Structure 1
Amino acid sequence: MISIELAKKLIDHQFPEYADLPITSVEQQGHDNHTYRLGDALLIRMPTAEAYALKVPKEHALLPKLAAHLSINIPTPIKMGAPSKDFPYPFSIYKWLDGQSANLVHIDEDALDCIAVQLAIFLKELQNIDGVDGPEPGQHNWWRGDHVSVYDKGARKQIANLENIIDHKACLHLWENACATSWKQAPVWIHGDFSSGNILINDNKLSGVIDFGGMGIGDPACDLVIAWTFLKGKSQEIFKQAMGLDADTWTRARGWALWKATFELCYIKEKDSAAAAFQKSIINSVINERASVL
Structure 2
Amino acid sequence: MMHEGELALSDHQAVALIIGRFPRYRGHSIRRLKTPGTVNAIFRVGESATARFPLQPADQSTGETALLREAQAMEEFRSASAFPGPRPLGVAAPTAGYPTAWSLQSWLPGDCPSPRSHESSDLFAEDLATLISSLREHPVKGRRFSGSGRGGVLRDHDDWMQECLRRSEGVLDVPRLRRLWERFRELPAGGADVMSHQDLIPANLLVDGERLSGVLDTGGFGPADPALDLVSAWHLLDAPRRQLLRERLDVGDAEWERGAGWAFQQAMGLVWYYRESNPVMSCLGRCTVGRLSGRQMGG
Normalised to the residue count of structure 1, the TM-score between the two structures is 0.84
Q: Which of 143, 153, 159 is the matching residue for 1:153?
A: 159
Partner of 2:133: 124
- Do 1:102 and 1:198's aligned partners in 2 also have CA atoms closer than 8 Å? no
Q: Does 1:244 align with 2:255?
A: no
- State the number of aligned residues: 286
- Do 2:43 and 2:51's aligned partners in 1 also have CA atoms closer than 8 Å? yes
Question: Equivalents in 2 of 1:274, 1:79: separation in Å?
Answer: 30
Partner of 1:32: 39
Deviates more, 1:181-190 or 1:65-74: 181-190
**Structural mapping, 1:71-150, within 5 Å:** 71-103=82-114, 106-107=117-118, 109=120, 112-130=121-139, 136-139=145-148, 143-150=149-156
Q: Does 1:286 align with 2:292?
A: yes
Deviations along 1:229-278, whole A, 9 cap, x unmatched? 221143222122222222111212222222223223333668xx998776
Question: Equivalents in 1 of 2:116, 2:261: separation in Å?
Answer: 28
- Do 2:72 and 2:219's aligned partners in 1 also have CA atoms closer than 8 Å? no
Change in 2 beyond 3 A, CA 1:72/1:156: same
- Do 1:8 and 1:19's aligned partners in 2 also have CA atoms closer than 8 Å? no
Deviations along 1:137-181, whole A, 9 cap, x unmatched? 425xxx121111121122134335546665545434432332233
Partner of 1:66: 77
- Do 1:183 and 1:249's aligned partners in 2 also have CA atoms closer than 8 Å? no
Q: Does 1:16 align with 2:27?
A: no
Change in 2 beyond 3 A, CA 1:120/1:7: same
AA matched with 1:114: L
- Do 2:145 and 2:223's aligned partners in 1 also have CA atoms closer than 8 Å? yes
Partner of 2:191: 185
Question: Equivalents in 1 of 2:200, 2:45: separation in Å?
Answer: 25
Percentage identity across paired residues of the two chains: 24
Deviates more, 1:10-19 or 1:165-174: 165-174
Q: Does 1:5 align with 2:16?
A: no
Quote the offset at 1:134 in angstroms.
5.7
AA matched with 1:149: R
Quote the offset at 1:135 in angstroms.
6.8
Q: Which of 177, 200, 203 is the matching residue for 1:197?
A: 203
- Do 2:91 and 2:102's aligned partners in 1 also have CA atoms closer than 8 Å? yes
Query: Secondary structure of the residue that 2:114 maps to in structure 1?
Result: helix
- Do 1:199 and 1:206's aligned partners in 2 also have CA atoms closer than 8 Å? yes
Identify unmatched segments of 5+ residues in structure 1: none
- Do 2:199 and 2:229's aligned partners in 1 also have CA atoms closer than 8 Å? yes
Quote the offset at 1:65 in angstroms.
2.2
Question: Equivalents in 2 of 1:132, 1:251: separation in Å?
Answer: 27
Quote the offset at 1:119 in angstroms.
0.9
Question: Equivalents in 2 of 1:202, 1:9: separation in Å?
Answer: 33
- Do 1:129 and 1:189's aligned partners in 2 also have CA atoms closer than 8 Å? yes
Question: Equivalents in 1 of 2:159, 2:82: separation in Å?
Answer: 38
Question: Equivalents in 2 of 1:167, 1:201: separation in Å?
Answer: 33
Change in 2 beyond 3 A, CA 1:163/1:45: closer
Question: Equivalents in 2 of 1:156, 1:276: separation in Å?
Answer: 18
Change in 2 beyond 3 A, CA 1:274/1:28: closer
- Do 2:184 and 2:257's aligned partners in 1 also have CA atoms closer than 8 Å? yes
Question: Equivalents in 2 of 1:184, 1:59: separation in Å?
Answer: 25
Deviations along 1:116-143, whole A, 9 cap, x unmatched? 111111111111110557673425xxx1
Quote the offset at 1:38 in angstroms.
1.0
Deviates more, 1:48-57 or 1:114-123: 48-57
Query: Secondary structure of the residue that 1:206 maps to in structure 2?
Result: strand
AA matched with 1:80: V
Normalised to the residue count of structure 2, the TM-score between the two structures is 0.83
